[in-house]
Structure 1
Amino acid sequence: MATTNIWQQFKALIPKGVRIVANITAKNGNSTCQAELRDGLVITVKEESVNVGEKAFILDGEIKGTAPNLAEYEVEV
């Protein structure tokens, strides 16, 4: 049954979970990788599908694919 609540319909369009882009620094050999975030923090993520030195899209701690190597800017609002 579809909802007629506009707010609920809008929320359904937004993907759930935490999404980040990180640089893959090492493959651990046990289906996990080390990934460095923009602030320098290193985290362990699931999957080894992205090569070392490339950027990856990470969703809830799991690599979902290769991210393009674009310039990054930080803006404070």
Structure 2
Amino acid sequence: MELNLYRELLNLLPGDPLLSGEVTVQHADGTVTVELPGGGEVRARGVFAAGDRVFVRAGVVEGLAPDLPFAEIEI
């Protein structure tokens, strides 16, 4: 069995996080602007209506997210 050090290094790095937010703008080029709970915005590929809650990972909308309340707890 051959050991690939580069692949082992990549396995140590974290993947893209799964984000959730609300679609605020639907653009004509097939992308949407998603507002994240912390106030940031992400532009991602996907066709959803304004007001939809969605999951976003690596610039792609993965699907609808449940409409749950957001609570931020500071430690």
Q: TM-score range by the shorter chain?
A: 0.7 to 0.9
Q: How many Å separate the matches in 2 of 1:36 and 1:46?
A: 14
Q: 1:69 aligns with which of 49, 64, 67?
A: 67
TM-score, reference length from structure 2: 0.73
Match of residue 17 from structure 2: 18
Residue in 2 that maps onto 1:53: 51
Check whether the contact 2:20–2:56 (CA below 8 A) recurs between aligned residues: yes
Tell me how far apart the structure 1 counterparts of residues 19 and 44 of structure 2 sit (CA, whole Å): 11
Counterpart Cα distance in 2 of 1:20 and 1:72: 13
Partner secondary structure for residue 43 of structure 1: strand
SS at match of 2:25: strand
Q: For residue 43 of structure 1, report the CA deviation from its aligned partner.
A: 2.0
- Contact 2:37 2:70 (8 Å CA) reproduced: no
> TM-score, length-normalised on structure 1?
0.71
Q: Which residue of 1 aligns with 2:42?
A: 43
Q: Identity over aligned residues, as a percent?
A: 25
Deviation, 1:18, is 1.5
Q: CA RMSD in A?
A: 1.9
Which segments of 5 or more consecutive residues in structure 1 lack a partner in the other structure? 2-10
Partner of 1:4: none
